[in-house]
Amino acid sequence: MVINPTNLAKTTRVSTGWPDARSRVIRSYRDWQRAAPEIVKQYLLHFPPSAVRAKIRQEFERHRYVQQLPVVDMLITKSNMELQETMNYWKQIPHIMKYFRPEEDPRARVSSNFMNNFLEGRN
């Protein structure tokens, strides 16, 4: 892929209302989902695009219940910047892998039972 810095650049704008913000969020989400296979190929990740898509979904779901329109606009702007940086290969592999750390996964949390942790080899 040819790196073109202005290819994915989007101007910062303010949503006119909730329907406009909703359509912008959906557009950003779809752009990320479409970019998942290219992200896997570009960064030589050792997991399938479905795992990247699931993580993208998780990140969008994390901000699902934001109620302030200016905050939604800021999150959309940050999402667009992250996509541009990711697709133009301005990030390094650790920047991408930080989203896939085990402590980010709620299912991978350490249980409070000492014996289970000991048998699994966790500290």
User: pLDDT band at residue 10, thresholds of 50, 70 and 90?
Assistant: confident
- Asked if residue 9 is part of any domain, the answer here is no
- Asked if residue 2 is part of any domain, the answer here is no
- Asked if residue 5 is part of any domain, the answer here is no
- Asked if residue 62 is part of any domain, the answer here is yes
- Asked if residue 31 is part of any domain, the answer here is yes
pLDDT of residue 110 exceeding 90, the answer is no
Supply the pLDDT for residue 41: 94
pLDDT in tens, 23-40: 999 999 999 999 999 999
User: pLDDT band at residue 111, thresholds of 50, 70 and 90?
Assistant: low
Q: What is the mean pLDDT of residues 96-105?
A: 76
Long-range CB pairs of 3-9 (<8 Å, 24+ gap) are 3/88, 3/89, 4/88, 5/84, 5/88, 7/87, 7/88, 8/80, 8/83, 8/84, 8/87, 8/88, 9/84
- Asked if residue 75 is part of any domain, the answer here is yes
- Asked if residue 71 is part of any domain, the answer here is yes
Domain count, the chain: 1
- Asked if residue 59 is part of any domain, the answer here is yes
Q: What value does the mean pLDDT of the chain take?
A: 86
Domain hosting residue 65, numbered range: 18-120
